Amino acid sequence: MSTQIRVLKTDGDHAVAVARLSELMDMDPAAGTAEEAELELLALLIQSYEQTKFPPTPPDPIDAILFRMDQQRLAHKDLVPYIGSMSKVSEVLSRKRPLSLAMIRRLHAGLGIPADVLIGEGQELSVDSTVDYTKFPLAEMQERGLFGPNKRPLQSLKEYAEELVTGFFRCASGLGGQPVMMRATLHQTGARTMDEYAFKVWQACVLRKARAMTLKGTYQHGVITSEWIRNLTRLSTFESGPLLAQEYLSNHGIALVFERHFDKTYLDGAAMLDGEAPIVALTLRHDRIDNFWFALLHELIHVQRHLTASDPCIADNLDDKTRTSDQELEADREAGEALIPEAAWVTAPVRISHSTEDAVDLARQLQIHPAIIAGRVRKETENWRLLSNLISSAGKVSDLFNNQLACQ
């Protein structure tokens, strides 16, 4: 006797269906009969209900490893190539040490255990990853708090480098788990080559800070003109000039961000486009007023003339005297001209006298900070002791931005 079949909605419906299924199985209906069709349909309905009501529990990663060891008659020592050492094998199998993504990748490739079983529910693993995460500045990233408050020994940082680094990028304002891949122009011809892994981390820190800022205006291409830059340089006469400069840029939709350089990046700053929004990022590697204003204007010339969708990031080491690209030479020239016009400089008494009085007089005439004049004299003469009083009395720029330089 057949039963009317309907979608199972309650546990009572399920119990009735299971009883009828058992009855049909005892009957062992012949192929092609109505009873066989009823049996197959009931089995599908029961399976669907049970999967909804009682979702399958994901296999335990360690149980999966032990099962594969039993299948292939593997001893603990056979896992050393995948996990790293006998002590690590023992710790992993006793659940005292978590599997790293590097271990998971090797176990998947070597023993054929599904990666999703090893990594666990809700996580992702790129089995074909070619990024060497141990090349990132792990110790420096930890010191800056980019991996959270807990400290790890160096060996642990290297072992869990992939999850730590991808976790950092995932948290960096929606940057995803992969390193920032904004193509950067590095005009470097000197002996010191930038560490691009460290630069990607610095770039992510800059983007995170810029995206957290609320700018007061919207950037309009063409807003940066000679007069616009001249109005900006006049702000240098104030003690809070760098702060005023940040506000001035914000009013025009440009983010001015401060992020300390990472070791082996040799960075003074960079100009970037985040979509259509310009970012000027400074490291304050040389924490002086004169360097701040020159680096700021240098990056703004890049924003004005050089950044494009196909060239969205230009990074600068202003100490590299061997830079010969047209872009860098133009940015140097225009930044210098904006601060101290060549016509005023060639006749300025301070070029010869190197006196404080002449430096202050020229600064007053040009409406800029005297430290900028001092910086020009020191650079041209390569005598860094000249006019030190004007440099030191200006103070450190970082003192104005301590909260913004802190890790976020």
Q: Are 258 and 394 within one domain?
A: no
For 383-408, give the DSSP string.
-TTTTHHHHHHH--GGGG-HHHHS--
Q: Are 242 and 214 within one domain?
A: yes
Report whether 139 contacts 198 (CB < 8 A).
Answer: no
Model pLDDT, residue 246: 98
Q: Are 203 and 316 within one domain?
A: yes
- Tell me the residue ranges of DSSP E strands in 227-349: 255-258, 269-274, 277-282, 313-316
Angle at 220 between CA 214 and CA 225, to 5 degrees: 115
Model pLDDT, residue 177: 55
5 falls within a domain: no
Q: Are 192 and 309 within one domain?
A: yes
Model pLDDT, residue 111: 92
Cα–Cα distance, 54 to 355 (Å, whole number) = 85
Q: Are 334 and 346 within one domain?
A: no
pLDDT in tens, the chain (408 residues): 455 677 888 888 888 888 888 888 888 888 888 888 888 888 888 888 777 776 666 678 899 999 899 989 999 999 999 998 999 999 999 999 989 888 988 999 899 988 888 876 555 555 446 788 999 999 999 999 999 888 999 999 999 998 899 889 887 755 555 565 555 666 655 556 889 999 999 999 999 999 999 999 999 999 999 999 999 999 999 999 999 999 999 999 999 999 999 999 999 999 999 999 999 999 999 999 999 999 999 999 999 999 998 999 999 998 887 878 899 999 999 999 999 999 999 999 999 999 999 999 999 999 999 999 999 999 999 999 999 999 999 999 999 998 888 765
Q: Are 75 and 34 within one domain?
A: no
312 falls within a domain: yes
Model pLDDT, residue 128: 46
Alpha carbon 225 to its chain centroid, in Å, reads 32
Q: Are 311 and 208 within one domain?
A: yes
Instruction: Return the SS3 of 177.
Output: coil
405 falls within a domain: no
Q: Are 22 and 71 within one domain?
A: no
Cα–Cα distance, 158 to 149 (Å, whole number) = 17
Q: How many domains does the chain have?
A: 5
Q: Are 270 and 289 within one domain?
A: yes
408 falls within a domain: no
Model pLDDT, residue 237: 97
CA dihedral 182, 188, 194, 196 (to 10 degrees): 20
Q: What is the CA radius of gyration of the chain?
A: 32
Q: Are 203 and 305 within one domain?
A: yes
For 260-300, give the DSSP string.
PPPTTT--SEEEEEETTEEEEEE--SS-SHHHHHHHHHHHH
Structure tokens at 161: 């480098």
Q: Are 360 and 396 within one domain?
A: yes
Domain carrying residue 94: 61-119
Model pLDDT, residue 193: 81
407 falls within a domain: no
Q: Are 265 and 353 within one domain?
A: no
